[in-house]
């Protein structure tokens, strides 16, 4: 026979899950060489971005109390779940499109720009004599370097920044919606009991 979870144990579970989601941007530094999914590679120093993401996600914990005023609650929960699925798909699509894996380089993942500079459109690699314009993004980044200053030689600064913000924004949006879903579910359960 299945025993119902008490409100106190349920509250501990949702608080623990919320704390974990809040800490994902900070804990993801452990996995930075394994995958770019736990946190996007937003430039040379992504520490500030990690703290900003954690702060935004932490502040999103306050929103569920305002969402509970909306009725019917089941429709809100379904809408939040579908929105969460959509933001996950958005983040994974944007991450796949703009993040370039570099398995043999010191920095394993970088976000590429969308627009190449005039030098990278017309120049040649002195070592291989291959035109930069014929190189893939991974080859171009490998030849130029993986740091922000190197990437700005082959991609325009505005396209690099725009792509970094697309990946970072979709990542933060996904975590915020997940926190909203957890918080709204926890508050709805506490109101029912």
Spatial distance between the Cα atoms of 170 and 164, rounded to a whole number of angstroms: 10
Indicate the DSSP class of residue 29. Answer: G
Spatial distance between the Cα atoms of 55 and 61, rounded to a whole number of angstroms: 10
Helix (H) or strand (E) holding 160: helix 157-192
* Under 8 Å between Cβ of 167 and 40: yes
For the chain, the domains span: 7-192
pLDDT at 1: 45
User: 107 by DSSP, 3-state: which?
Assistant: coil
pLDDT at 2: 47
pLDDT at 14: 64
Spatial distance between the Cα atoms of 132 and 116, rounded to a whole number of angstroms: 10
Residue whose token pair is 């030098």: 119
pLDDT at 168: 92
The residues, any chain, with a CB within 8 Å of residue 53's CB and separated by 6 or more, are 25, 39, 168, 171, 172, 175
* Under 8 Å between Cβ of 132 and 123: yes
Phi/psi at 71 (5° precision): -125, 150
Per-residue tens of pLDDT for the chain, all 193 residues = 445 555 566 566 666 777 777 777 777 777 666 776 777 888 777 778 888 888 888 878 777 766 666 667 778 888 889 999 999 999 999 999 999 888 887 888 889 988 988 877 777 666 666 777 788 888 888 888 888 888 888 899 899 999 999 999 999 999 999 888 887 777 766 666 5
Q: Go through the chain and tell me how many residues it has.
A: 193
Strands in 19-162 per DSSP E: 99-101, 109-111
């Amino acid at each position: 026979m299945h025993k119902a979870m008490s409100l106190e144990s349920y509250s501990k579970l949702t608080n623990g899950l919320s704390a974990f989601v809040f800490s994902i941007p900070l804990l993801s530094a452990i996995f930075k060489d394994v995958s770019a999914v736990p946190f996007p590679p937003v430039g040379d120093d992504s520490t500030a971005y990690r703290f900003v993401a954690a702060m935004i996600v932490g502040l999103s914990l306050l929103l569920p109390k305002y969402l509970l005023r909306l009725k019917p609650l089941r429709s809100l929960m379904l809408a939040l779940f579908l929105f969460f699925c959509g933001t996950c798909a958005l983040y994974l699509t944007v991450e796949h499109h703009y993040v370039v894996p570099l398995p043999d380089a010191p920095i394993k993942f970088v976000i590429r720009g969308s627009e190449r500079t005039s030098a990278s459109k017309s120049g040649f690699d002195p070592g291989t004599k291959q035109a930069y314009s014929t190189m893939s993004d991974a080859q171009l980044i490998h030849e130029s370097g993986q740091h922000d200053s190197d990437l700005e030689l082959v991609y325009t600064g505005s396209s690099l920044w725009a792509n970094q913000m697309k990946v970072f924004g979709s990542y933060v949006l996904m975590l915020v919606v997940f926190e909203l879903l957890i918080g709204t579910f926890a508050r709805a359960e506490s109101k029912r009991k």
